[in-house]
Structure 1
Amino acid sequence: MNRTNDIDNLMSRFGESAASYIEMENSFNYKELPEPPVAAAAAIPVGTENSTVAVPPQPVENSDLQPATVATTVHPLDRRVEPVLDDLLESASVDDSLCEPVSVPASACSLRSLLAEVALERMAEARAQNEEALRRSIPNGSAAVTPARVIAVVSPKGGVGKSTLCAALAGALGAKGSRLAIDLDPQNALQYHLGVSPDVAGMASASLTGECWSGLLLDGIGGTRVLPFGPVSGQERRALERFLEDDAHWLARQLARMDLAADDVVILDTPPGRTLYLEQVLDVADQVIVVITPDPASFMTLGPIDRLLEGRTHQARRRDCHYVVNQFDASRTFCQDMLEVLKRRFGKQLVGVLPLDHAISEGLAFGVNPLLEDEDSSARQAVLAIADALKSPVRTSALAGSRAS
């Protein structure tokens, strides 16, 4: 039996002839019977696993026994599955109010702007005042000279009792006129030694506004008149120091404006070390007192200040430079040796030695100054001896010579 007879026998069973047979070509060489065509897969929501779903075959009805038509097989992986986003968008919807930026109330923004404008105007006004004060404090021409006697108390380092001695000398120096103690040290400590109320307007703020110092003098212990440095901010202090830097005779002009008499005595308290204030003081001082302590720290800092006092600018006043040793403890051999070294170095320029007296620092806590009020204090007696040495005939003639030069 050949292939043709097989086809005839097969078709005759269905009541057809071999002429109705159609040969179909298939590109797939299946070893097994091919699976029936897969119906279109249902839409799969996003979030489920996108795996191949097997769909059971559907029976094909061919009641009319028409010639079989083979449909093209579509593989499940060749069909694109469109995601359904409706459920996802509904579940992922976010309240729109949460996405809106937080707005600052209009009143707060307005107040902030107004405060900023006020601050800027205040700063501009302060700068204008400083510039005006600077312009008035630097007049053209040579520096004026006050007729009053000016004594500067300086030190190469802090912690030696400089302000303490300055206050004591202001009360001990006998003068027919006024005795003025002016604090040029930003530490503003001189007022406490002379019993002046703290935190009052002082020299610094008056200088920034161009005010004359005479109207700010306060009554202190022992008949003294005190001008504190006064509390200032860091910005105000820097502005003041620019005045000192721009005008080498700034202090001389300030003292000249006070209209002091020849019988008046001015004691100037200065910051320790070499500063702009010290430069100004050396420009006006008739006598300079250097305060040191009998210890290696003070001795090692003498070089810079000695060179400054011996500079060409201050040659005329070099002979009126004096030294005072403070806080001398006679019970210690080392202090005795240090005092001997200092005596050999300074010679006649050493005009006094103040003994160590704890009552001086303790009295400050109670508003008492033993150097001005305790007649039995050995330290007060030493201060009186220093005051006499400063106003001796020899010192007076030297002072007159320096003024004439």
Structure 2
Amino acid sequence: MNRTDDISNLFNRFGASAESYLEFGSDFDYKEKPLALVPTTPEPVAVVEAVQPAIQVNEPSLTVSAVNNEAELPPVKISQPGAPLRHLLAEVAAARQAEAQARNDEALRRVLPLGRPAKTKAHVIALISTKGGVGKSTLASALTTALRLEGGQTLAIDLDPQNALQYHLCAEPDVAGMASASLKGENWNSLLLAGSADSLLLPYGSVTEDERRTLERYMDHDRYWLARQLASMDLSENDVVILDTPPGRTTYLDQALTVADQVLVIVTADAACFVTLDPMERLLDECMAHGQAPQCNYVISQFDSSRVFCRDMHEVLKRRLGSHLLGVVALDHAVGEALAYGQNPLLEAESSPACQDMLMLSDKLKAQLKSMDVAESFAS
């Protein structure tokens, strides 16, 4: 049977005639269009790292909504499902830390005042040094004890976290101190302690490391922080403020140089202090460039005249510093012994060469303060 018979039988089966069948050829080649493949690679998911965000003055870690002026916390991404529990806990801790940091930054931004406050009427003397162990706190306590203008009081403020000045002035630490009170917004007048020889002291106080860092953040963000504190104390033109600062370039030093009328740089007659003279002069030049022009003097402390090298270094420093060398304080172990027994060595100054030297320095500074008052009165 051929193909024609098959077609005829098929048509007869359905009651039709094969004569009406026509077969057409086709020249078309139909091909199916291939399916397009879609990439299935998942997008990467960022994992939050538990890192403390740093404070940036010009780049805050959070934004403020223009609608309600509220802080918008930075978004926190989480890791993909199936991550280990320790990673999930680390992300929660990091998010909590970032949120607290953001809120602290926003609170700090809102409370920081603008502009420089009015200068305190009191005379402000800052004692600074580039290295520790030069007798700076000893001299600060001596000046607090001996330097006093008629009708005024002399107040020592301890800006050194070591909090040692209270022991030099034999003060009983019955208050929290400057650092803790500043974080709470308390006025410094209520924190003054009575020291020996009718001296007054504001101790640094005892704080935790977190509290200390918080206080220093405030000072870093507000260069007039100390100026505002002094202005709020309502001191008179006959009062004298002695600032004891920690050694080296710190935020406490920057704050002190902002308010100081006079700066005493304490050095010793050795090579270690000599090589720091150039950096110190550059620092003071920066102050003048910012419109601050405190009168600057140097004091050689702990001078051992029995050693030839110390005498030679004394001569070198005299030639280098010239008229800016205000005086020399002799090395006297009795001063350190008095501190061990809780005594103020200046109350028995007759038996101590170092105390005699410090009293002479006090007289020189007092004469300078009076001359500054005369010059200001003449200028006005």
TM-score by length of 1: 0.64
Q: Say whether 1:183 aligns with 2:158.
A: yes
Match 2:312 to one of 337, 342, 346: 337
CA contact (8 A) 1:389 1:395 kept: no
Aligned to 2:278: 303
Counterpart of 2:170 in structure 1: which amino acid?
G
Partner of 1:273: 248
Q: Is contact 1:144–1:256 with CA below 8 Å preserved after alignment? A: yes
Which one of 199, 206, 211 corresponds to residue 231 of structure 1?
A: 206
1:247-286 deviations in whole A, cap 9, x for unaligned? Answer: 1111000000011111110000001011111111111000
> How many Å separate the matches in 2 of 1:187 and 1:399?
37
Letter of the 2:279 partner, please give it: P
1:317 aligned residue: 293
Inter-partner Cα distance in structure 2 for 1:317 and 1:190: 27
* Counterpart among 144, 151, 154 of residue 118 in structure 2: 144
Structure 1 residues 400, 132: CA separation in 2 closer, same or farther (over 3 Å shift)?
A: farther
Flag the 1:180–1:393 CA change in 2: closer, same or farther, 3 A.
closer
Q: CA deviation at 1:316?
A: 5.0
Whether contact under 8 Å (2:173, 2:193) holds in the other structure is no
Looking at structure 2, the residues matched to 400 and 164 of structure 1 have their Cα atoms a distance apart, in angstroms, of 30
Structure 2 equivalent of residue 66 of structure 1 = none
CA contact (8 A) 2:127 2:263 kept: yes
Measured after TM superposition, the shift of residue 245 of structure 1 is: 0.7
Structure-to-structure mapping, 1:1-400, within 5 angstroms: 135-136=110-111, 138-175=112-149, 176-198=151-173, 200-311=175-286, 312-313=288-289, 316-318=292-294, 320-392=295-367, 396-397=371-372, 400=375
Identity between Structure 1 and Structure 2 (%): 57
Q: For the residues of structure 2 that align with 1:337 and 1:238, how far apart are their CA atoms?
A: 42
Report the AA paired with residue 147 of structure 1: K
Listed one character per residue, the Cα deviations across residues 12-53 of structure 1 (whole Å, up to 9, x for unaligned) are xxxxxxxxxxxxxxxxxxxxxxxxxxxxxxxxxxxxxxxxxx
Question: Pairwise CA RMSD of aligned residues?
Answer: 2.9
Q: Secondary structure at the match of 2:351?
A: coil
- Separation in structure 2 between the aligned mates of residue 298 and residue 198 of structure 1, nearest angstrom: 33
Structure 2 contact 175–191 (Cα < 8 Å) conserved: no
CA contact 1:162–1:291 (8 Å) conserved in 2: yes
Query: Alpha-carbon deviations, 1:225-252, whole Å to 9, x = none?
Result: 1000001111101100111111111100
CA-to-aligned-CA distance 1:108-137 (integer Å, 9 cap, x gap) = xxxxxxxxxxxx9xx97x99899768855x
1:326–1:364 distance in 2 versus 1, CA, 3 Å = same
| Structure 1 residues 267 and 130: CA distance shift in structure 2, 3 A | farther
Counterpart in 1 of 2:30? none
Q: Offset of 1:178 from its aligned partner? A: 1.2
- Partner secondary structure for residue 186 of structure 2: coil
Name whichever of 159-168 and 127-136 sits farther off. Answer: 127-136
Question: Using the alignment, how far apart are the partners of 2:132 and 2:378 within structure 1?
Answer: 30
Q: Quick one: which amino acid aligns to residue 202 of structure 1?
A: G
Unaligned 5+ segments in structure 1 are 1-119
Q: Which amino acid aligns with 2:231?
A: A
Q: 1:300 Cα shift?
A: 1.3
String of CA shifts for 1:307-364, please: whole Å, max 9, x gaps. 111223466525x100000111111000000000000011111111011100111111
Relative to 1, partners in 2 of residues 1:131 and 1:200: Cα closer, same or farther, differing over 3 Å? farther
Query: How has the CA–CA distance of structure 1 residues 167 and 266 changed in structure 2, closer, same or farther, with 3 Å as cutoff?
Result: same
Q: Taking structure 1 as reference, are residues 143 and 263 closer, same or farther at Cα in structure 2, changes over 3 Å only? A: same
Amino acid at match of 1:256: A
Determine which structure has more spread, i.e. the larger CA radius of gyration. 1
> Structure 2: which 5+ residue stretches go unaligned?
1-95
- After superposition, the Cα gap between the structure-2 partners of 1:135 and 1:215, relative to the gap in structure 1 and judged at 3 Å, is farther
SS across alignment from 1:267? strand
Q: Secondary structure at the match of 2:306?
A: coil
- Contact 2:349–2:356 at 8 Å: present in 1 too? no
**Alpha-carbon distance, 1:396 to partner:** 2.4
Q: CA deviation at 1:147?
A: 0.4
| AA matched with 1:391 | K
Partners of 1:134 and 1:220 in 2: CA distance: 37
Q: 2:282 & 2:339 partners in 1: Cα distance?
A: 34
